[in-house]
Chain A
């Protein structure tokens, strides 16, 4: 568990740093996708909705394309896919309380699960471990973003 500029950034996740999205291996070859504590901060801290496009479930989503949208009074934007894969399911809990994604972004607040087309290849493009957290810190330093 690492804290960088007040942002909780666990070392065991795979970060799509530019988009403030994480990925983690889940059961059955799936990966779980969510927003980072940095995204939670940037969105203004209180969300109105997180919506996974129902039509996309069962479809392939390319890395960088939207799997979901985040809405707050301050911000609206996509949650881009950290890998290319089939969108399997959305976290149904977010429909009733999108703010779980802020309170517990790496746990109960995950957003979607995907079946990667080529996880071994795609994970190479993501940042992970102590080195990944250091890269994330460099971005936060450069853009003067902090979570505290």
Chain B
């Protein structure tokens, strides 16, 4: 592993076309041996709700967001979600898929400082 990358995901099911590329870029970065963390906040957190990503299609007739998400997880991308954003959507941490670390906003700042590159979608 060399450098760290942080991808902040704010887009959600209202904008399906914005929901594949962030995962794709995360998977790609992991394949390049970067240490990759995704931080989900605002509407991005909704994509982590159990069963929801399976219903969001960036392209009609294409793969659902859940496929892109799974690829990223399998490539070793770490998933973190903003605690406050779950409150925004009346979600409990238990409503989210497995493998998500709940963190506060201050963690996002620390991850951003540690990362060589931060991308926001």
Interface contact A66-B33, CB-CB below 8 Å: yes
A76 at the interface (CB under 8 A from B): yes
Name A73's closest neighbour in chain B (CB-CB): B62
Residue of B24, B31, B71 contacting most chain A CB atoms (<10 Å): B31
Name B25's closest neighbour in chain A (CB-CB): A76
- Chain A residues lying within 8 Å of B31, measured Cβ to Cβ, are 66, 69, 76-78
B27 at the interface (CB under 8 A from A): yes
Q: How far is the CB of A131 from chain B (nearest CB, A)?
A: 30
How many contacting A-B pairs (Cβ < 8 A)? 21
Interface contact B33-A65, CB-CB below 8 Å: yes
Give the A interface residue count (CB, 8 A). Answer: 8
Name B24's closest neighbour in chain A (CB-CB): A76
Give the B interface residue count (CB, 8 A). Answer: 8
Q: How far is the CB of B119 from chain A (nearest CB, A)?
A: 16
- Chain A residues lying within 8 Å of B27, measured Cβ to Cβ, are 76-77
A53 to B28, CA, bound (A): 12
Q: How far is the CB of A66 from chain B (nearest CB, A)?
A: 5
Interface contact B28-A76, CB-CB below 8 Å: yes
- Chain B residues lying within 8 Å of A76, measured Cβ to Cβ, are 24, 27-28, 31, 71
Q: Give chain A's interface residues, CB within 8 Å of chain B.
A: 53, 65-66, 69, 71, 76-78
CB-defined A-B contacts under 8 Å, sample of 8: A53-B32, A69-B28, A76-B27, A76-B31, A76-B71, A77-B27, A78-B31, A78-B33
A-B pairs with lowest CB-CB distance, top 7: A78-B31, A69-B31, A76-B28, A76-B27, A66-B33, A77-B31, A53-B32
